[in-house]
Amino acid sequence: MVDFRAGDTVKVHVKIREGGRERIQMFEGTVLSVRGRGENATFTVRRVGAGGVGIERIWPVNSPSIEKIEVKKHGDYRRSKIYFIRGLSARELASSATKKA
């Protein structure tokens, strides 16, 4: 298992089945929370899509649909759940990472 925390920027490689074929699609975003332990652990990743719409996905850590998880950048937050990021603009988000919310 990859070691990541809330605030880290991760790239999740997800297996997607389309018409009998299987392909890998990347979902890159910020980890909002990691909850649970062991086999029941889940994590939430948020990214900003087209038109500035926020997209969140929740996966079990041991999901068979996840090919791999890459940690692109470690965040610098002191909270275990950073749900307050949902209400921030891009400019506020950049400055909140340096404030150590």
Per-residue pLDDT at 54: 87
Contact predicate 8/47, CB 8 Å:
no
25: nearest Cα among 62, 54, 59: 59
Q: What is the mean pLDDT of residues 15-38?
A: 93
Q: CA-to-CA distance for 22 and 37, rounded, in angstroms?
A: 29
pLDDT of residue 73: 92
pTM above 0.85, yes or no: no
Kind plus residue range of the DSSP H or E element containing 67: strand 66-73
Angstrom distances, CA of residue 76 to CA of 3, 27, 99: 15, 21, 9
**What domains sit in the chain, N to C, each tagged with a CATH number?**
9-99 (2.30.30.790)
What are the residues whose beta carbons fall under 8 Å from the beta carbon of 26, sequence distance 6 or more? 11, 12, 13, 14
Q: pLDDT of 32-91, one tens digit each?
A: 999 998 889 999 999 988 888 889 999 999 999 999 999 999 988 888 999 998 887 666
pLDDT value, residue 60: 94
Predicted confidence band at 96 (pLDDT cuts at 50, 70, 90)? low
Helix (H, G, I), strand (E, B) or coil at 98: helix
CA 32 – CA 58 distance, rounded (Å) = 10
Residue 32, pLDDT score: 94
